[in-house]
Amino acid sequence: MNEANSDVVDLSTMESIYETYSDQPGALIPILQKAQDVYGFLPPEVLQWIADRLDIALGKVYGVATFYSQFYLEGRGRHVLKLCDGTACHVKGAQALVSAVEAEYHVRPGETTEDGELTLEVVYCLGSCALAPVAVLDGEIMGRVQQDGLLAAVKKRLASAPSPVGQGEPHGIE
């Protein structure tokens, strides 16, 4: 379990987020996006706060947060590795890459290492089929990836300075 989930959630920043978007139609999604930018994911307390403040059912807020793949209900690692397993990547050996990362870092797809450093995600198309198999590490695309090169890149990244949650991926409209 990622350590971010066990922290007490400070809701003090939510009021300014709410004020920025409250007069806009369809404010729910931008509020969720900005909240995730702040917390790195959407803790239950934040979902409840949003539901209360917008005066909508918690189930609707949860439904939107779980419908869109951009939202996360659990904390993610400081580094995020996405491995494509779309058709082209699958044919070119994506499963061997997944297995290599699982074995090296003791993490399964959708999980974060116990130290909170690495989240492994399997996605089903990154739109770079000509570069198959493809991996994205902290927002950096790597094409024609082989096991040794992937493991070396992850090791190097984990040894580098900390990355912010979200690693270069836009969570919302700026």
Tell me, letter by letter, the H, E, C secondary structure of the chain.
CCHHHHCCCCCCCHHHHHHHHCCCCCCHHHHHHHHHHHHCCCCHHHHHHHHHHHCCCHHHHHHHHHHCCCCCCCCCCCEEEEEECCHHHHHCCHHHHHHHHHHHHCCCCCEECCCCCEEEEEECCCCCHHHCCCEEECCEEECCCCHHHHHHHHHHHHHCCCCCCCCCCCCCCC
- Span 96-111, average pLDDT: 97
- What pLDDT is attached to residue 40? 87
* Mean pLDDT value across residues 139-143: 95
Task: Based on the fold, state whether residues 62 and 83 are members of the same structural domain.
Answer: no
Q: What is the pLDDT of residues 107-135, one digit of tens each?
A: 999 999 999 999 999 999 999 999 999 99
Question: Which amino acid is residue 160, in one-letter code?
Answer: S
Q: Does one domain contain both 93 and 118? A: yes
**For residues 102 and 117, is the Cβ–Cβ distance under 8 A?**
no
The answer on pLDDT for 73 being more than 60 is yes
- Measure the CA–CA gap between 39 and 13, rounded to whole angstroms: 10
Mean pLDDT for 65-88 is 94
* Residue 96: inside a domain: yes
pTM strictly above 0.85: no
Q: What is the mean pLDDT of the chain?
A: 89
The domain in which residue 121 lies consists of: 79-159
Nearest residue to 42 (alpha-carbon basis) of 24, 69, 78: 69
Contact 35, 17 (CB under 8 A): yes
User: Partners of 142 in the beta sheet?
Assistant: 135
pLDDT of the residue at 8:
81
Among the residue ranges 7-11, 88-92, 139-143, 163-167, the one predicted with the least confidence is 163-167
- Asked whether residue 54 is domain-assigned, the answer is yes
Residues 27, 47, single domain; the answer is yes
- pLDDT for residue 152 is more than 90: yes
If asked whether residues 83 and 126 sit together in one domain, one would say yes
Q: Please count the structural domains in the chain.
A: 2
Share of the chain above pLDDT 90, in %: 81
The domain spanning residue 90 has which CATH number?
A: 3.40.30.10
Residue 171: inside a domain: no
Say yes or no to pLDDT of 170 above 70.
no
